[in-house]
Structures are given as C-alpha cells and as structure tokens.
A and B are shown apart, each in its own frame.
Chain A
C-alpha cells in the first residue's frame, strides 16, 4: 500500500511540474510582462530596471525554479485586468465554486444511483424507459441550454427562483457560505441541478450497466438459491459489487464538475473561479489563466490520487493479487 502511494505521489508531482512548466511558459512568453505592468510613458531605462528587478534577465531554468517556489507559497502574481494579487482573487472565489460543485455532485449521486438501481432491477417498467430517455436527452442537451431553459421556466415565467448570484452569503472568516441562508439555498438550486445533470445521467447509466452485469453472475444465482430475500440479494450482494467502478468514475467526474462549473457559473453569473477564468480568457489575462490552470491541475491530481487509493481499499482482489505476486 505504501509503495503504491509513493509511486502515485511521484507520478502526481511529475504531472504538476509539467503543468507548472506550461503555466510558466504562458506567464513568461505570451506577451511581455513588463509592458503589461507599466504605463505608455515609462522610459526604456525604467523598463530595463524593472526587468532586472523582476529577474526576467536571469537564466530561464532559474526563473522557472523561482516561479515554482512562488506558486508553492501561494504567490501567483498580479492580475493584468483587475490589478490585484491573483492568489487573493482565487481565494475569494474558491468557496463559491467548491460549494456549487459539492452540492451538484451530491445531487448527482443521491439521484443517479437510485435511478440506476431501479432501471437495472426493473428494466421493462415504463418508468425505467422514461429514465433512460431522460438520460439520453441529458447527454445531448448542452449544459448551458439546460441552464437557460431553467432560468426561463423558474426564473422568468414562474418567478420562483433567483436567476443569478449566490444570494445572501455568510462570512465565516476563512470561508464564505451561501448554505446558511434561505436565499442562498434558493440560489444554488438551479445552478447545482444544471451542473449535476450530466453527471447524473452518467452515474445512472453506469450503475445500471454494472448492476445488470453483476445480476447475471453465479454468486447472485447462488444467493437467490440460498433463499435470501430479494432485498438482501439486490442491496447486500449486487449493489456492493457495482460500487467499485462507480466510485472510480464518480471521483474522476468530480474534477469534471469543477471544470464544467465554468459554463454553469457563466449562465447563472455565479461568482466563482470559473467565471474569473473565463473573463481572464476574454481579456488575455495571463497570470489569472496560468494560476487557474495550476490550481485546477492540483485538484485533478489530488482527486486522481484519492480515487486510486480508494480503489485499492474497496476492491480486495487488487490487494490479494499483489500479495500473491509478492509471495512468489
């Protein structure tokens, strides 16, 4: 287990360094950092001085090392567009994005898994067919279109839910949350549904196909022959064995949720990191873009790491195989 964790950790560090290199290249070579920081009337000498002071004349590997050092310390540079430190900007907006992603993932899991189980256990009922049709539409409808349709229905026509923003936000010092106020909950409903819809269909289809496969295996037949109740067979035996791939895919999708939050945040003007990143792209605000890239990569790498480890914890077969291999 420890060897596995160390191996995965080294892999993750390599990936992070690669991403940091890309971000550094962006930061350093796309556009001239000095020209972005000074006004039109700055003399060439002042520019040269600034260049020297920023260390832009040092060898590139040294600059890269300094960039990595700064990034690790949370010093991401200053936004060209807003003129404030990127680290502070991201920290302000992180809670909004994480809250949205978390609620969306929870929604997708709590609705997707039961729907998948139902369609697998009763494949011929009309409700199952309705679920499958919905899932096909859910995959084909673009995220932003679902969001717009929701706004049109619940925001404009019915007027039940707010159509933009986070609602009233409570500041906890280190974290701002919208989940402690009624307007915050009302505001998160539509964005979370929009964001979770795609993952929901994915999880539902996955649970369904895995469960159908498991239900065909011998140990399920044997469990039925032993006279166990359908409930024990379905949930105690079948469901348990379908959850391994579900955990993997769901874990990997969590990263996808954070990335797709860019779209949802734009539709609902949700003040998160995705919206910041999108505005950075429109204005070619390289420091924000490269820092967002590094941060997202970090999320992905951590999630992948946890999923890998979890996979080995949940599936005993992987452990036994290795022990046998080690014993020989």
Chain B
C-alpha cells in the first residue's frame, strides 16, 4: 500500500523547516491522499456517499442565511396568510415556498436549514463538552488510580446503567425547576448542551481510562516523571496525545447520538423553544397537523434528520473500522 511517493514525501517531511508554506501544504495533502485511511475511504462507496451527504448538510446549515429566501427566526419576515402552503408540486403550491410552509407561514426549506444549524450546534457543543469532561476524568482516573479511580468509575458504572436520554431529561427537568420560567427560553439551548453532555461523558472516560492505564507504565511517561514534570503536564502533554485515537471514533458516533437526543428532547417539548426551532421542534410542530392532512410539515424535517443521522452514523462506522489496526 505504501507507494514510493509516500516514502519520498515522508522523507521530505524530515526537512520540514526548509520547505515553503505552499510546499508544506502540498506535502501534507500528498501524504493524506497516500495514507491507508484515505485508501479505505475511497474504496467504500457507501462511505463516500455518506461523507458527501454530511458535507452538503453541514455546508447548507453553515451558509443558511445566504441560500434561503427567509429568516424563519425573525417573526417580522413571516406572513400568516402564507400558512399551510403545500410543496411546489402539489395543488396550490408555489415556487416561493419549495417545500411548503408550516402553521405560522414559515418557509419549510428555510426553517429546515436554520433548524439543522441549531441541531448541529447543539450536537457539536454537547459532544465537545462530553469529550472534555470524559477525557479529563478518564485521564485522571487512569493516571492517578486508587481512590480517585474508584470514585470516578463507580459513578460511571451507575450512570451507564441508565439510558442517556433519561439522564438528559432529568437534568433538563431539574434546571427547569431551578431557573425562573421567563429566563429559561433564553438559555434553553445551553441547558440542552449541558444535559446531553453530562449524560454522555461515560464512554469517553471509560475508553481513555483504559488506554491511559496502558500508557502510564511506558518508558516515556516514566522518563517525564523522573525529570520531575508536574503530573498535570505529563497527563496533558504526554499521555493525552497517545490516547486520543479512539476518542475520535466515539466522538463521531456520539455526534449522531447527540443530534438524535437533541431532536428527541425538542420533540418532547423540553428542548429548544418553538421560536428558534431545531429539526426536532419542527417535527413536534408538524405532528399537530398530521390528522388535518398537512403531511409536509413533519415529513421534510423528519427526512432531513434521518438522513443526517444515518450519514454521520455511517461515517462513524467506517472510521471505527479504518482506525482499527486489527482489521487491516
């Protein structure tokens, strides 16, 4: 699998300091294209399609304000007379609203793109939060051992026997009880991030703890300890980079789960408020109009959500296999 070009380029990278920035970019691009991870990516058609779908959805969400006709978060741009317009190919549809409108006259195409933004933001933020918390606690437990280890891991054991959605619901409910009602809508997104993040740190912690326990007995860590580096510095600068591999895989699959959890909470009415709908909120709104025949309000956001989660799941599956040395 290692072509001569790869050997050349890796030899070239030894002279890192002599290269111009442009050469350096080209060099790392060459190395990426020659790596076996890229090879396994290219040879799996499903993965390429999943990556393309994910990229399109991410970009569409990112550039939503420039590619949508309407800002659905701005009540001023909505017209109640446009409510319940069916999609363009159905009777009474118009090109102004390609996918139709909801009960408040929101253009569904715009609302879906803006909603994906909210969903993706909550997904990324809560996975990042869970990752920082889980990796931190896992490092601590694995490196320190003893009482610290048993306390952290007992908490993890208890938590993992309950489904994440239940824990997220509980944290959400408690914060709802503590915060005054008027303020709650303003911070609803952050409450979501907090509750989903707190509900899903255990997997990161378990994995990192396991690999930390292997790493800490290796010579480089002992050497760092002998020259008297601070334990925190050893954990972060030396052990952490060597245990991050599996974290990436858990993070990708965690992203799909976090997006789903957010959608579920929003669907249940305890997520983001309906003034700034996420995909789950849109489905929740659409559910009310199932029986009156306005199926498009629920189907299009639902399809987008399913597509997004499926694509991210497929990417995560592929990443897990590609980074697993046993399968090579």
Contact = CB atoms under 8 A, between A and B. Distances in A.
Interface residues of B, number: 37
Interface residues on A, range: 35 or more
19 contacts: A26-B174, A30-B178, A136-B313, A137-B310, A140-B306, A141-B306, A142-B267, A142-B309, A144-B263, A145-B283, A148-B302, A155-B291, A156-B291, A263-B264, A263-B268, A266-B267, A282-B269, A284-B173, A286-B177
Contacts of B169: 262, 277-278, 281
A51 B31 CA distance: 71
A262 B268 contact: yes
B270 A144 contact: no
Contact of B162 (A144, A156, A300): A300
Shortest 9 CB-CB contacts between residues of A and residues of B? A281-B173, A284-B177, A140-B310, A30-B177, A259-B166, A259-B163, A140-B309, A145-B302, A144-B267
A300 B313 contact: no
Given A30-B178, A152-B290, A152-B295, A144 B264 contact: yes
B283 A144 contact: yes
B119 to A, nearest CB: 12
B172 interface: yes
B161 interface: yes
A156 B174 contact: no
Interface of B: 158, 161-163, 165-166, 169-170, 172-174, 176-178, 256, 260, 263-264, 267-270, 283, 287, 290-291, 293, 295, 298-299, 302, 305-306, 309-310, 313-314
B291 A278 contact: no
A282 B270 contact: yes
A106 to B, nearest CB: 20
Nearest to A280: B173
Contacts of B310: 136-137, 140
A311 interface: no
A255 B314 CA distance: 27
A139 B309 CA distance: 9
Interface of A: 15, 18, 26, 30-31, 136-137, 139-145, 148-149, 151-152, 155-156, 163, 252, 255-256, 259-260, 262-263, 266-267, 277-278, 280-282, 284, 286, 289, 293, 296-297, 300, 304
Contacts of B287: 148, 267
Nearest to B263: A142
A155 to B, nearest CB: 8
Contacts of B177: 26, 30-31, 284, 286
Nearest to A301: B161
Contacts of A282: 176, 269-270
A145 B27 CA distance: 46
A259 B298 CA distance: 24
A281 B270 contact: yes
B23 to A, nearest CB: 42
Contacts of A256: 163
Contacts of A140: 256, 306, 309-310, 313
Nearest to A252: B161
Nearest to A163: B291
Contacts of A262: 165-166, 169, 268
A156 B299 CA distance: 14
B128 to A, nearest CB: 22
Nearest to B269: A282
B75 to A, nearest CB: 23
B158 A142 contact: no
A33 B224 CA distance: 55
B259 to A, nearest CB: 9
